[in-house]
Chains A and B, each alone.
Chain A
Amino acid sequence: MSREVLLVFLLVLPFAGSIAAGLLRADARNTEAWLAGAISLAGLAIVAALYPEMAGGGVVRHEFAWAPAYGLAFTLRMDGFAWMFAAMVTGIGFLVTVYARYYLSPEDPVPRFFSFFLAFMGSMLGVVLSGHLVQLAFFWELTSLFSFLLIGYWHHNAAAREGARMALVITSAGGVCLLAGVLVIGRIAGTYDLDEVLASGDMIRGHELYIPALLLVLAGALTKSAQVPFHFWLPQAMAAPTPVSAYLHSAAMVKLGVFLLARTWPVLAGTEAWQLIVGSAGLCTLVFGAYLAIFQHDLKGLLAYSTISHLGLITVLLGLGSPLALVAAVFHVMNHATFKASLFMSAGIIDHETGTRDMRRLGGLYRFMPITATLATVAAAAMAGVPLLNGFLSKEMFFSESLVAEVGVPAVQRLLPFVATAWGALSVAYSLRLIHQVFFGPPPAGLEKVPHEPPRWMRFPIELLVLACLLVGILPAYTVAPILDVAVRSLLGEATPAYSLAVWHGFNTPLIMSLVALAAGVVLYAALRGYLARGVESPPLFAAIEARRIFERVHVAVSWRWARALVGVLGTERLQPQLRWIVVVAVAAGLLPALRAGLGPGPLDATPVDPAFLLMWVVGGACALGAAWQAKFHRLAALVLSGGAGLVVCLTFVWMAAPDLALTQLLVEIVTTVLLLLGLRWLPKRLPYRGTAAGAVAALPRRLRDLATAVAAGTGLAALSYLVMTRPIPDSISRFFLERALPEGGGANVVNVIIVDFRGFDTLGEISVLAVVAITVYALLRRFRPARESVEPPPQQRAQSPREAEDDLRVPAAIIRVMFPAIVVLAAFLLLRGHNLPGGGFVAGITLVIAVILQYMAAGTRRTEAQLGLRPLRWMGSGLLLAAATGAGSWLLAHPFLTSHTPKVVLPVLGEMHLPSAFLFDVGVAAVVFGASGLILIALAHQSLRK
Chain B
Amino acid sequence: MEPVLAIGIGVLAGSGVWLLLRPRTFQVVIGLSLLSYAVNLFIFVMGWVRGGAAPFVQPGAPVDPARFADPLPQALVLTAIVITFAMTALLLVVLLASRGLTGTDHVDGREDEE
A-side residues, CB < 8 A to B, are 573-576, 579-580, 583, 604, 606-610, 613-614, 617, 620-621, 624-625, 627-628, 631-632, 635, 638-639, 642, 645-646, 648-649, 652-653, 656-661, 664-665, 668, 671-672, 675-676, 679-680, 682-684, 686, 698-699, 706-707, 709-711, 713-722, 724-726, 729, 732-735, 737-739, 741-742, 748-751, 754-755, 759, 762-763, 766, 769-770, 773-774, 776-777, 780-781, 783-787, 836-837, 842, 846, 929, 932-933, 936, 940
- CB contact under 8 A between A725 and B71, given known A576-B21, A631-B19, A714-B10: no
Are the C-beta atoms of A742 and B27 separated by less than 8 Å? Answer: no
Interface of A is mostly: helix
Residues of A within 8 A of B69 (CB): 656-658
- CB contact under 8 A between A735 and B65, given known A709-B21, A770-B83, A773-B86: yes
Some 5 contacts from A to B, beta carbons below 8 A apart, are: A613-B1, A613-B5, A628-B18, A661-B44, A724-B45
Beyond the given pairs A729-B46, A786-B96, 17 more chain A to chain B contacts, judged by CB atoms under 8 angstroms and listed by A's residue number, are A576-B21, A583-B21, A620-B12, A628-B31, A639-B30, A657-B52, A680-B26, A714-B17, A717-B42, A718-B10, A738-B65, A741-B57, A742-B59, A750-B57, A773-B87, A774-B86, A846-B82
- CB contact under 8 A between A684 and B18, given known A722-B2, A737-B71: no
**CB < 8 Å: which of A718, A738, A785 contacts B71?**
A738
B-side residues, CB < 8 A to A, are 1-27, 29-31, 33-34, 37-38, 40-42, 44-50, 52-59, 63, 65, 68-72, 74-75, 77-79, 81-90, 92-94, 96-97, 99-101, 103-105, 107-108, 114
Are the C-beta atoms of A580 and B108 separated by less than 8 Å? Answer: no
B40 nearest CB across to chain A (Å)? 7
Are the C-beta atoms of B103 and A607 separated by less than 8 Å? Answer: no
Nearest B residue to A653, CB-CB? B44
Are the C-beta atoms of A739 and B65 separated by less than 8 Å? Answer: yes
Residues of A within 8 A of B78 (CB): 660-661, 664, 751, 755, 842
Are the C-beta atoms of B37 and A836 separated by less than 8 Å? Answer: no
Docked CA distance A657–B73 (Å): 12
Are the C-beta atoms of B1 and A755 separated by less than 8 Å? Answer: no
Are the C-beta atoms of B24 and A609 separated by less than 8 Å? Answer: no
Are the C-beta atoms of A665 and B9 separated by less than 8 Å? Answer: no
Residues of A within 8 A of B17 (CB): 583, 709-710, 713-714
Residues of A within 8 A of B99 (CB): 682-684, 786-787
A572 nearest CB across to chain B (Å)? 10
B61 nearest CB across to chain A (Å)? 10
A940 nearest CB across to chain B (Å)? 7
**CB < 8 Å: which of B23, B65, B79, B108 contacts A755?**
B79
Residues of A within 8 A of B21 (CB): 576, 579-580, 583, 706, 709-710
Are the C-beta atoms of A742 and B57 separated by less than 8 Å? Answer: yes
Residues of A within 8 A of B77 (CB): 658, 661
Are the C-beta atoms of B92 and A785 separated by less than 8 Å? Answer: no
Are the C-beta atoms of A620 and B27 separated by less than 8 Å? Answer: no
Docked CA distance A225–B5 (Å): 70
- CB contact under 8 A between A613 and B4, given known A684-B105, A766-B83, A784-B97: yes
**CB < 8 Å: which of A683, A739, A770 contacts B86?**
A770
Residues of A within 8 A of B29 (CB): 676, 679
Interface centre among B17, B79, B108, by most chain A C-beta atoms within 10 angstroms, is B17
Number of residue pairs A-B, CB distance < 8 angstroms: 320
Interface centre among B30, B33, B87, by most chain A C-beta atoms within 10 angstroms, is B30
Are the C-beta atoms of A631 and B48 separated by less than 8 Å? Answer: no
Residues of B within 8 A of A679 (CB): 29, 92-93, 96
A445 nearest CB across to chain B (Å)? 59
B90 nearest CB across to chain A (Å)? 5
- CB contact under 8 A between A652 and B41, given known A606-B3, A733-B72: yes
Residues of B within 8 A of A631 (CB): 19, 22, 24, 26-27, 30-31
Nearest A residue to B77, CB-CB? A661
Are the C-beta atoms of B88 and A751 separated by less than 8 Å? Answer: no
A830 nearest CB across to chain B (Å)? 13
Docked CA distance A642–B107 (Å): 20
Docked CA distance A739–B87 (Å): 34
Are the C-beta atoms of A713 and B30 separated by less than 8 Å? Answer: no
B108 nearest CB across to chain A (Å)? 5
Are the C-beta atoms of A713 and B12 separated by less than 8 Å? Answer: no
Interface centre among B53, B69, B81, B88, by most chain A C-beta atoms within 10 angstroms, is B81
B12 nearest CB across to chain A (Å)? 5
Are the C-beta atoms of A656 and B27 separated by less than 8 Å? Answer: no
A264 nearest CB across to chain B (Å)? 55
Docked CA distance A754–B26 (Å): 35
A131 nearest CB across to chain B (Å)? 49
Docked CA distance A631–B5 (Å): 24
Docked CA distance A645–B8 (Å): 10
Are the C-beta atoms of A625 and B105 separated by less than 8 Å? Answer: no
Are the C-beta atoms of A754 and B30 separated by less than 8 Å? Answer: no
Residues of B within 8 A of A683 (CB): 25-26, 96, 99, 105
Are the C-beta atoms of A698 and B31 separated by less than 8 Å? Answer: no
Are the C-beta atoms of A786 and B100 separated by less than 8 Å? Answer: yes
Residues of A within 8 A of B48 (CB): 656-657, 725, 729
**CB < 8 Å: which of A607, A625, A653, A940 contacts B11?**
A625
Are the C-beta atoms of B3 and A722 separated by less than 8 Å? Answer: yes
Docked CA distance A138–B40 (Å): 46
**CB < 8 Å: which of B5, B14, B56, B107 contacts A713?**
B14
Are the C-beta atoms of B30 and A642 separated by less than 8 Å? Answer: yes
Docked CA distance A724–B46 (Å): 7
Are the C-beta atoms of B74 and A610 separated by less than 8 Å? Answer: no
Are the C-beta atoms of A715 and B79 separated by less than 8 Å? Answer: no
Docked CA distance A664–B16 (Å): 21
Are the C-beta atoms of B92 and A734 separated by less than 8 Å? Answer: no
B59 nearest CB across to chain A (Å)? 6
Residues of A within 8 A of B22 (CB): 631-632, 706
